[in-house]
Structure 1
């Protein structure tokens, strides 16, 4: 099969078909407020707002200016693979106080671009069906532990430690991606994603154990908090409780957790269960196995040894997403280039590559297609083996 890049669409045609929500998406991806964009294209903030609301169409010359100012092809402003409804994508950010609105908008826009990329790839490669239970468990939001146990049961998670959690989530239709380097100020976050649930992991947390807990925390939000106001301490505490029970079920771990700070034993449990020493200490106290005094003393010792920053032992490599990068590799074998897929998704190639990367990328890895692809090749199937 011979695939070719689409011919460039005329700017005048883009002006006729202009989707204001796509302008808002591009602006937020660029981290700009309306007034900043207006200044770049010599328009008023009111005009930018009118374009975004689709109450006014920009002239072809203005489309070209917007394209240059935002670093996107004019075709970006055409209706995308998924109808954008910003109000339907409410992201769960860890701390609303420490994260600016501009940073949250940029992060959410990246997640929405991920949905566009996913929808494009799904036209060519079959993805797993989504299986995030909502009504069945959401009514149980006052019992995060019950929700976590129900999800383990629904996903047929074997008793004991959870295996590759990123792959497990992807098997259930969740999009898991790393945010770009410029989004490192925003912690892991999640949202329903319009067509698929999305979890975006922080690219600077080079910590296997923290990444797994972050992902389990975000799964808790997806299961329990679709209709909840994000960012409240209660909601975040519930997601933490969900993550602790999902990764360390009480009935399965309470008999092996020490009541004292037996560091050798804790290290063995850490390696086996894929959770940090701090998480094990907190879990032991939460389950009433370790006293408050013992817990405090253990945390003081842990801090004095510098283990809060870097725990002892070999750090496993991060769990890597396979769903999107695997689809890209399969299509590459069929002769479909990343540029072609990026064009179809209406996103810049550099953004496409970041979204489809298996590992956190820095700017130096965002290569021109002529220089090669940072995506690993040779993937023969999207998934193999069991959880």
Structure 2
């Protein structure tokens, strides 16, 4: 059996998060656990109808198994933002999904000669205190000419700076990670999260990329503060809420969420961290939010859009300018040729 085919089959199973037995069970045991193991080891070759069954069970297109790989992708220096502990299978699935997208992303960049290199706006600074975090957030806003206004799209900002942002389908246990992949910086976020959480997670991961932390500091807490400080800068917080408050109205927090794209809970933490409200006021508001169910499902609407766009923009440009064929573009976009033609024509979402 072709070694590339066996490796692709194994990678597809890891992406699905399935064990050998679970994959066999999903196929109604039409293919045994032992047979799948033989296929992955390259000791046997699946018949075409068996490969079709495997593709369907794994949720990949048949051409995934035969797609040429320009370069093997390796993820290094991985930093996670987690709500709870991921299982080993979940971590592996996330890594494989990210590598699958990156394989196509790197190939597309090479074909259209559109590589971007990230340049940090910060020199070697060691973060010791939360005041250092505030200073760095303000410095980055200055260096990137963001002013004090809300950031329209965090993902677009990172992509323009040369960071690859990937959105992958994952369980709610996963929120985000950053990594180095073949010399490029990558941020991976959960496509199922709402836009407010995507914004916060993406900047949390940016903190891991930009900042060097002193020993014995709570790195995750500092990254959280950095995300809040970049989304809702200290000067703006004081302008909106003033220096000291005894009480906060929900209506105020809803306005901030709608305008700055930061959650109510993150804003409350921000107000406490900046000593605008006391710890008692913060705790009292959070207890009330728990009672009315707002901790699990927060009210308020943010109308901005957070979506990774650079890959698709490069793909459409390459196809329409005939840098690559439509069939090649469809393969890179993980679509059938018919699907890609409809996407390119903008007719996928138009009802007849």
TM-score class, shorter: 0.7 to 0.9
Identify which of 179, 186, 196 aligns with 1:191: 179
Identify which of 199, 224, 230 aligns with 1:240: 224
Query: What's 1:114 paired with?
Result: 101
CA RMSD of aligned residues (A): 3.9
Query: What's 1:158 paired with?
Result: 147
Q: Which has the higher strand share?
A: 2
Query: What's 2:188 paired with?
Result: 200
Does the 8 A contact of 1:31 with 1:103 survive in 2? yes
Residues 353-364 of structure 1: pairs in structure 2 closer than 5 A: none
Does the 8 A contact of 2:20 with 2:33 survive in 1? no
Relative CO higher for 1 or 2, CA cutoff 8 Å, sep ≥ 6? 1
User: Per the alignment, in what secondary structure is the counterpart of residue 177 of structure 1?
Assistant: strand
C-alpha displacement of 1:286: 0.7
Identify which of 184, 204, 209 aligns with 2:196: 209
Does the 8 A contact of 1:179 with 1:201 survive in 2? yes
Query: What's 1:84 paired with?
Result: 73
Q: Distance in 2 between matches of 1:141 and 1:235?
A: 10
Q: 1:308 to 1:374 in 2, by over 3 A?
A: farther
Does the 8 A contact of 1:137 with 1:223 survive in 2? no
Q: Distance in 1 between matches of 2:150 and 2:52?
A: 49
Residues 23-38 of structure 1: pairs in structure 2 closer than 5 A: 25-33=11-19
TM-score relative to the length of structure 1? 0.69
Give deviations 1:264-321, integer Å, cap 9, x for gaps. 3333333332222222211011111101111122223334444334444444153222
Q: Distance in 1 between matches of 2:47 and 2:222?
A: 45
Are 2:167 and 1:178 aligned? yes
Aligned residues: 327
Does the 8 A contact of 1:190 with 1:218 survive in 2? yes
Does the 8 A contact of 1:21 with 1:84 survive in 2? no
Does the 8 A contact of 1:281 with 1:295 survive in 2? yes
Does the 8 A contact of 2:178 with 2:188 survive in 1? yes
Query: What's 1:296 paired with?
Result: 283
Q: Which runs of 5+ in 1 are unaligned?
A: 1-11, 52-57, 354-367, 379-387
Q: 1:372 to 1:126 in 2, by over 3 A?
A: closer
Q: Distance in 2 between matches of 1:337 and 1:145?
A: 48
Does the 8 A contact of 1:211 with 1:318 survive in 2? no
Q: Distance in 1 between matches of 2:249 and 2:171?
A: 38
Q: Distance in 2 between matches of 1:150 and 1:337?
A: 44
Are 2:35 and 1:42 aligned? yes
Q: Distance in 1 between matches of 2:339 and 2:116?
A: 35
Does the 8 A contact of 2:78 with 2:177 survive in 1? no
Residues 303-382 of structure 1: pairs in structure 2 closer than 5 A: 303-335=290-322, 336=324, 339-341=327-329, 343=331, 352=334, 368-371=336-339, 375=343
C-alpha displacement of 1:19: 8.9
Q: Distance in 2 between matches of 1:151 and 1:20?
A: 46
Q: Distance in 2 between matches of 1:287 and 1:273?
A: 17
Q: Distance in 2 between matches of 1:223 and 1:96?
A: 24
Q: 1:205 to 1:22 in 2, by over 3 A?
A: same
Give deviations 1:324-363, integer Å, cap 9, x for gaps. 11112212323546641354x5xxx6xx35xxxxxxxxxx
TM-score relative to the length of structure 2? 0.75
Does the 8 A contact of 1:213 with 1:243 survive in 2? yes
C-alpha displacement of 1:177: 2.7
Does the 8 A contact of 2:168 with 2:190 survive in 1? yes
